């Protein structure tokens, strides 16, 4: 029972363009959503979050959008940079987070 799904295992984008990573969830009780970035052999690092009472949160090049009716959230990275290449996990919950399977983003120069 995968409550948080990232249906795209990988995404390739050119430097300077927009990267859009998507995430779907099934549990309407989730009230907090986060995105994490992970490099190989390292722990994930927090990127950006959004509460269920909002539909958008922005932090520099990163914006997270939440569509509660569709149970969908997305992460936009503009402009994308080669250093953004990593695996991105979406997560949902309050204290105990449920993670998606991750999307590997490759930003090419």
Partner 1 sequence: SQTIHQWPATLVQPVGSPLSLECTVEGTSNPNLYWYRQAAGRGLQLLFYSVGIGQISSEVPQNLSASRPQDRQFILSSKKLLLSDSGFYLCAWSVPGAAGELFFGEGSRLTVL
Which positions lie near partner 1, rule CB under 8 A?
4, 6, 31-34, 41-46, 49, 51, 89, 91, 93-102
- In the beta sheet, which residues pair with residue 33? 50, 92
CA distances from 96 to 32, 88, 91, 92 (A): 11, 18, 10, 8
Q: Both tokens of residue 9?
A: 């295992």
* C-beta closer to partner 1: residue 19 or 102: 102
Q: How far is the CB of 15 from partner 1 (least distance, A)?
A: 27
Q: Which residue has the tokens 């859009």?
A: 20
Q: How far is the CB of 45 from partner 1 (least distance, A)?
A: 7
* C-beta closer to partner 1: residue 42 or 83: 42
* C-beta closer to partner 1: residue 84 or 100: 100
Q: Residue 73 and residue 54: Cα distance in Å, rounded?
A: 11
* C-beta closer to partner 1: residue 73 or 93: 93
Cis peptide bond N-terminal to 97, omega within 30 = no
Residue 55: what are its φ and ψ, rounded to 5°?
Answer: -120, -5
Q: How far is the CB of 65 from partner 1 (least distance, A)?
A: 17
Q: How far is the CB of 78 from partner 1 (least distance, A)?
A: 23
């Amino acid at each position: 029972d995968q409550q948080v799904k990232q249906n795209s295992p990988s995404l390739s984008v050119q430097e300077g363009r927009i990267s859009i990573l998507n995430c779907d969830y099934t549990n309407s009780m989730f009230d907090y959503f986060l995105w994490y970035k992970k490099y190989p052999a390292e722990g994930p690092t927090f990127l950006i979050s959004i509460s269920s009472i909002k539909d958008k949160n922005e932090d520099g090049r990163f914006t997270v959008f939440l569509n509660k009716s569709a149970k969908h959230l997305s992460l936009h990275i503009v402009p994308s940079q080669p250093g953004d290449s990593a695996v991105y996990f979406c997560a949902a919950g309050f204290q105990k987070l449920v993670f998606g399977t991750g999307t590997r983003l490759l930003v090419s120069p």
